[in-house]
Structure 1
Amino acid sequence: MSIAELRSQIMRRKPITRVEDEAPADERLARSLGLWQLTAIGVGGIIGAGVFSLAGAVAHDVTGPAVLLSFLVAGIASAAAALCYAEFAGMIPKAGSAYTYGYVSLGEIFGWFIGWDLLLEYVAVAAVVAIGVSGYFRFLLDGIGLELPNWMMGAPGTGEGHQVDLFAMLFCLGSAFVLSRGIRSVGRFESVFVAVKVALVVLIVVLGVFHIDSSNYTPYFPFGTAAVFTGAATVFFAVFGYDAMSTAAEESVDAEKHLPKAIIYSLAIAMTLYVLATLVLTGMQKYTEISPDSGFSTAFESVGMPGVANIIAIGAIVGIITVVLTFMLGVTRVWFAMSRDGLLPEWFAKTHPVRKVPTRVTWIVGIGSAIMAGFLNIRTVAELTNIGILMAFVVVCLAVMVFRRTRPEVPRTFRLPLMPLVPIVGVVFSVWLMVSLRWETWVRFVVWLLIGLVIYFAYSRTHSKLARTAATPTGDQ
């Protein structure tokens, strides 16, 4: 095979067609999500371990009180990418999110790599969030005086005698069970629990503001100003839940109109609450005293409000579970989309005959995330997550610029403003945050991509539906 032929294969692009026109009945998803259910899924994916657990861990070990600035930096990068996602979501309302956008606009090899990347990253997000839930659950058990064996209380190396984080594993498996019941059940679950979570953050802010001690903000940069960007790279996974929400496009009743709005609404709501919550957390306690596992609960306990601390612990468990659910939804839909396109075995793309959800991949993801949550520490998993999502953001921001030039005639229900400034800002911030991550994280990421490269050339390149139908090199129709 010549280089030109190989290039034409790996750069073929998926045509923009309606799912109803291309997918058999057993490879379609049920449509039942409206605007506010989509927004709830987005908020459910954004607000969770980032505010309830990781904010405390980063403030304690990485940034000090400047963790608020870390969230703002991450939010700016995320907002630029969110507008790019919103434009694509209105044009291409299909499962797969960044994978599908890259496949349609840049070519198969780009779609494959971003999809392969997201498979690992979304599973890692579900795992890291489950670890955050487990931290608050252990705090609650300690509060009622229930002592359990140390071996089941955390991953190896996270504490004396710890061998496995059993609770984190159970949360992952429980989320897989909820997802397997159908998207309508997921939508209802998210709507109720997200309302509880938002109310909890508001309660934290309203009560905590009266216990702020301004001296706790000094020094504001105990680890140096550069730590703000390291912190932003670490907390970044806490501000991109809308990405996972966009993978549910085929389950929306009017995705072209609702998805762009839901993406913007969910990020705006979440960032407002993040800023207020981190301001309160670092004002209530000195950063050196903030608990990396259950920051807000211990903060309220320290000011003599143990009852509120327990309420927060219960609410955090409820709230963080919705994040596990959202990202597990995301990875199963990306896997489903890749399998339906033939890049992975189509066995995974089969949906349940009644519930119309991909139950096969749902349980595989549930077990995989449970294993990761049970045996890895929270920072390692969080950084592994962030580098992959940042790479996805770079691809989507580049893709939206390319698609504006190559396919200007495609109807767009939302057009991002200030083109090309906004996507360029998204690319620059994302690359900047990626550079801030530790070299060990880069090694793990590169190894995963190399495994993906082998699988693509050994299987996906010749088994994709475009290859089997002898599609044109561009695939445009």
Structure 2
Amino acid sequence: MNLFRTKAIEEYREDAKVTHLKRAMGAFDVTMLGVGVIVGTGIFVLTGVAAAKYAGPALMISFLLASITCAFVSMTYSELASMVPVAGSAYAYAYTSVGELFAWLVGWNLVLEYSVGASAVAGGWSAYVCGLLKTAGVDLPQSLTAVPADGGLVNLPAVLITLFLTCLLVRGVHESVTVNKVLVAVKLAAIFLFLFLAGPSVDVTNWEPFAPFGWAGISAGAAVIFFAYLGVDSVATAAEETKNPARDMPIGIIASLAICTLLYIAVTAVMTGNVPYAELDNAEPVAFVLRELGYRFGSALVGTGAIAGLTTVLLVMMYAQTRAFFAMSRDGLIPQSVCKIHETYRTPHRITLIVGIAVALISGFTPINVVAEMCSVGTLFAFLVSAVGVVVLRHRAPDARRPFRCPAVHVMSALAVLSCGYIMYNLSSMTWERFWLWSAAGLAIYFLYGYRHSRENKEGQ
């Protein structure tokens, strides 16, 4: 059995010409796509929990540690995205470098990462909307805003926003990108409003002790909030729909990472400088800090920005999920019929509807626990395999066209592998158990269907 057969880079490029996904995005669009998914759940939800339970004010160091890890990965991703400018991101990079089995495992874990993550974001979106309506005097019944396990019938707002964004994604990437840019602008305005209102009242004595849980807490905090950085992979899935991927992808990946890292550290510093870290253990820490300072109207405005932020995260995660499925179906590892391109909209409408309905059902009826860690482990695994793959391709295809070359590639790759491995080491044992169970289920599907139906398998016979 040839489990490690690879797919030629030129074959991927030919596939892209045949399927004709619409190339509608430039470097700025790609950057905003990255900011749209990276600045969201992490900054509006996870910062409070991570500060209270894991790192305290030293969460700033946790974000720096995660962003340095992501910087190493971004350099390798940028080279791979410029070499293999197709949908699929880490899945496609693994297929061209380390082989089909690893590619399937990466793709399968991306399914978990995006589906579970998108469902959790939809639930968070619902919580912010209900909180904002309650502030305005509109109290929705619990039966329509909570999942059955929490005493309700269905989380209806989560279902409705998911289905709305599904329709938007079916309509086309241009419309989705336009909406994303507007929502990113609202979200960034809300963050800068928070910094403007709360920044002057920072009391540095709240930063003492700076690292109450020690280095172990800083590392654990980095593992939890790494969920925020899966945007790097989400951006890479857009390569086949950018006008000039050789230029636009490296700019978009690196620029979005730099912008988001500065914002995360600034918000964490202001947040923990105004309120003792132990009091931040809630689902809306940014709005909570402003309410504590007496800015009730400002809190409502920031809550509105959080809703916009979570909307962009949900939009991009669902987009990335469909593109990962699309790449896998094109290679025959899942049925190709589910990823047919719509004749008018030029989008994979069937898989978009399937993903949208699945996410709506999960978010509407299922309580999502340890979502951040579950998403983090899938992201880190994809990053690690890609970091190895870029070096493999340097040796296997030394003359391949590389519009962007990762500087000091062997050093960058080694640092990416070590830093990803270190953060994975700090994930909980329960997360690892679920990761192995999910991977085992994926392997069963691969050997029952994917291996035999693989295009590479059929062409090699």
Q: Please give the range of the TM-score, normalised by the shorter of the 2 chains.
A: over 0.9
Equivalent of residue 403 in structure 2, options 413, 423, 444: 413
CA distance in 2, matches of 1:380, 1:106: 30
From the superposition, tell whether residues 18 and 62 of structure 1 become closer, same or farther in structure 2 (CA, over 3 Å). same
Conserved in 1, the CA contact under 8 Å of 2:7 and 2:456? yes
Equivalent of residue 432 in structure 1, options 397, 410, 422: 422
More deviation, 441-450/89-98: 441-450
Please give the secondary structure, in 2, of the residue aligned with 1:225.
Answer: helix
Query: What is the TM-score normalised by the length of structure 2?
Result: 0.96
1:81 aligns with 2:73: yes
Number of equivalences: 461
Cα deviation for residue 213 of structure 1 reads 2.0
1:178 aligns with 2:158: no
Alignment match, 1:17: 10
Please give the secondary structure, in 2, of the residue aligned with 1:64.
Answer: helix
1:125 aligns with 2:117: yes
CA distance in 2, matches of 1:384, 1:163: 26
CA distance in 2, matches of 1:76, 1:54: 19
CA distance in 1, matches of 2:82, 2:366: 37
1:107 aligns with 2:94: no
Amino acid at match of 2:302: I
More deviation, 136-145/259-268: 136-145
Q: Deviations over 1:185-208 (max 9, x none)?
A: 011111222122222212211221
Conserved in 2, the CA contact under 8 Å of 1:291 and 1:298? no
CA distance in 1, matches of 2:32, 2:389: 27
Conserved in 2, the CA contact under 8 Å of 1:139 and 1:294? no
Equivalent of residue 251 in structure 1, options 233, 241, 247: 241
CA distance in 2, matches of 1:230, 1:128: 20
Cα deviation for residue 307 of structure 1 reads 0.5
Alignment match, 1:36: 28
Alignment match, 1:147: 139
Alignment match, 1:344: 334
Cα deviation for residue 24 of structure 1 reads 7.9
Cα deviation for residue 153 of structure 1 reads 3.5
CA distance in 2, matches of 1:174, 1:66: 38
Cα deviation for residue 18 of structure 1 reads 6.1
Cα deviation for residue 372 of structure 1 reads 3.0
Alignment match, 2:50: 58
Equivalent of residue 431 in structure 2, options 432, 441, 448: 441
CA distance in 1, matches of 2:404, 2:50: 35
Amino acid at match of 1:14: K
CA distance in 1, matches of 2:145, 2:153: 8
Amino acid at match of 1:75: S
Query: What is the TM-score normalised by the length of structure 1?
Result: 0.92
Alignment of 1:329-408 (within 5 A): 329-377=319-367, 379-408=369-398
1:460 aligns with 2:417: no
CA distance in 1, matches of 2:458, 2:438: 27
Please give the secondary structure, in 2, of the residue aligned with 1:420.
Answer: helix
CA distance in 2, matches of 1:425, 1:32: 34
Cα deviation for residue 84 of structure 1 reads 0.7
Query: What is the alpha-carbon root mean square deviation over aligned residues?
Result: 1.8
Alignment match, 1:474: none
Amino acid at match of 2:344: V
Please give the secondary structure, in 2, of the residue aligned with 1:469.
Answer: helix
Cα deviation for residue 45 of structure 1 reads 1.2
Conserved in 2, the CA contact under 8 Å of 1:78 and 1:240? no
Amino acid at match of 1:21: E
Cα deviation for residue 237 of structure 1 reads 1.4
Please give the secondary structure, in 1, of the residue aligned with 2:360.
Answer: helix
Identity of aligned residues (%): 39
CA distance in 2, matches of 1:211, 1:138: 29
CA distance in 1, matches of 2:243, 2:437: 39
CA distance in 1, matches of 2:65, 2:147: 30
Q: Deviations over 1:393-446 (max 9, x none)?
A: 110001111111111111111111222111111111111111211111111111
Please give the secondary structure, in 1, of the residue aligned with 2:387.
Answer: helix
Please give the secondary structure, in 1, of the residue aligned with 2:140.
Answer: coil
Q: Deviations over 1:140-181 (max 9, x none)?
A: 122112222234434466x6x356433233322222121111
Cα deviation for residue 23 of structure 1 reads 5.9
Alignment match, 1:223: 213
From the superposition, tell whether residues 152 and 289 of structure 1 become closer, same or farther in structure 2 (CA, over 3 Å). farther
Amino acid at match of 1:327: M
More deviation, 12-21/349-358: 12-21
1:47 aligns with 2:39: yes
Unaligned stretches of 5+ in structure 1? Answer: 1-5, 472-477
Amino acid at match of 2:193: L
Amino acid at match of 1:102: A
